[in-house]
Amino acid sequence: MTSIPEALLWCLSAGTAAAVVLAALSIRARGQRAGLRSRLSAAEEQNSATLHSNTELSARLRATEAEIRHLSGTRLPDLTLALAHPHVSVPGLLDARFAGTETDQALNAVLEQVSDAITKERARVDAAAQSTLRGATTTIQALLYQLQSALQEMQHRYDDPNVAQDLLNADFLNEQALRRIQATGVVCGAWPGLTREDSYLAELVVGATSRLRGYERVQVSNQLRDPVAVVARAVEPVAIVVTELLANALHHSHRELPVTITLQQGNRGASVIVDDYGVGMHDDEIKAAMELLSGDESFLLTQLGDPPRSGFAAAGQLVRQYGFGVHVEPSPYGGVRAVVYIPGDPLLTVLDESAQPMSVMAPLPHRSGVPDRAGSALPTGATTPSPAAAASAAPSAPAAPSAASYEAPVPQAEGELPRRRRRKPVSELDESAERTPSLPPRSPEETGSRWAALQRGTETGRAAAQSEPPRSPEGNA
């Protein structure tokens, strides 16, 4: 009887133990499932983050490739264009997210290196072109000077009026070619190629005028108080600059409009003021012209346009080398006013008119009682004189006597032009009587007839000298 309860007890104990074991196993299984689920969730999150990172990396890679294509296809071509034309802008980054990053710095480094390489190569090529042009223009200029001398000798050798006129025309054409070759050489760094003596400023202006077509339109007004002259080393540079400014004024104004030149004297120098009544210049054109005329910045031949306009560039080169100044501004007459300022120290001097008289072609100064010889530099329609003779303004030409004798220069302040004082006053009537009166302008027909009459008279005299028999002392045949 006692075995049955024990058996039941043992069965209950075994069942309880089994239940406990099963409960423990169930709890363990649930913990394992929770851990597996957490690991799966973490793996999914990691996979999602990896996928997102891969997506961002792919997008950034595509954006970088787009920036590189933008650099090679747009930014670099625009950069090369902007180096030649400063008004062209170079675009920035295609994607603003790269601003300030290493990618942005790397792309900017590429732009800087390409810009530096292009600038150096352009300067090297331009220097080589200037060297070639400098050598060629120097040789051609020397040949043109020889041709000019030969034409002047032929003018003295032949008496036929038609031949003389043809020689004068050829000489004038040679002067046009010489002016353009000379300006091109100066732009390329060549020496002006001509040495002169100290020359009156008025003579220099007339000489510059004679180098241009349309010289009859130029009217010169001499307002100088003293016989101001330019020192020898600066005569040809100043003449070149005045010539180029006059060429610009004549070219951009109607052929029936005058171009006026006024010579003014100040306390520290003298000025040549050129006014035209032409189309004028816009503000940006004046700014560009002043940049060239200042001579402060270097320029390339490719910056002078196509075809190159070398006038202002040549003037700027000479301004930098010789120390005078050029200013361009709108004229009160609607055109352009150009001013060449020549400082008295060290580019000006005062000559003795009695020892070195001024050429008769130069306009007389507007002194009290002195007849005005201003106006057109040469009579309208007159036969063109030899440009070389007019440019040099030879002092051996006959000139009116000096209005008053001069003594030693009066002491002046530092930088002021030397001045001479009169030895004794001369009345206006006496002074005007001593001066040769100015001749009225002649018509082309009158000038041609006078020239032809001179040639016929010369031919008749020579023919008579060769055909008539020698006369006896008594004058009988």
Question: Is residue 182 a contact partner of residue 213, using CB atoms and an 8 Å limit?
Answer: no
The average confidence (pLDDT) of the chain is 78
**Above 60 in pLDDT, residue 429?**
no
Higher pLDDT, 365 or 382: 365
Determine the average pLDDT of the residues in 336-354.
93
* Residue 336, strand partner residues: 330
d(CA 167, CA 152): 8
* Dihedral of the alpha carbons of 119, 124, 126, 132, in degrees to the nearest 10: 180
How many whole angstroms from its chain centre is CA 346?
24
Q: What is the pLDDT of residue 389?
A: 41
Q: What is the pLDDT of residue 447?
A: 56
Which residue type is seen at 72? S
- Nearest to 212, CA basis, from 180, 238, 236, 185: 180
d(CA 394, CA 240): 18
Q: What is the pLDDT of residue 53?
A: 73
**Above 60 in pLDDT, residue 440?**
no
**Above 60 in pLDDT, residue 417?**
no
Q: Sorting pLDDT into bands at 50, 70 and 90, what band is 300?
A: confident
Q: What is the pLDDT of residue 443?
A: 54
Question: Is residue 168 a contact partner of residue 386, using CB atoms and an 8 Å limit?
Answer: yes
**Above 90 in pLDDT, residue 172?**
yes
Name the CATH code of domain 141-394+418-431 (choices 3.30.565.10, 3.50.30.40, 3.40.1830.10, 3.30.70.20).
3.30.565.10
**Above 90 in pLDDT, residue 420?**
no
d(CA 438, CA 429): 16
Which residues, other chains included, contact 58 with Cβ-Cβ below 8 Å and sequence gap of 6+? Answer: none
CA atoms within 13 A on the CB side of 196: 28
Determine the average pLDDT of the residues in 247-268.
93
Determine the average pLDDT of the residues in 151-177.
91
**Above 70 in pLDDT, residue 386?**
no
Cα–Cα distances in angstroms (integers) from residue 36 to residues 33, 41, 251, 398, 473, in the given order: 5, 8, 96, 123, 155
Higher pLDDT, 446 or 418: 446
**Above 80 in pLDDT, residue 418?**
no
Q: What is the pLDDT of residue 136?
A: 93
Least-confidence region, from 16-20, 264-268, 272-276, 382-386: 382-386
- Ranges of each domain in the chain: 141-394+418-431
198-213, pLDDT tens digit by residue? Answer: 999 999 999 999 899 9
Which residues, other chains included, contact 456 with Cβ-Cβ below 8 Å and sequence gap of 6+? Answer: 161
d(CA 328, CA 424): 42
Q: Sorting pLDDT into bands at 50, 70 and 90, what band is 384?
A: very low
User: DSSP class of residue 88?
Assistant: S
- Nearest to 293, CA basis, from 273, 315, 321, 322: 315
Higher pLDDT, 298 or 435: 298
Q: What is the pLDDT of residue 327?
A: 95
Q: What is the pLDDT of residue 342?
A: 96
45-92, pLDDT tens digit by residue? Answer: 777 777 667 777 888 888 888 999 999 999 999 998 898 888 888 998
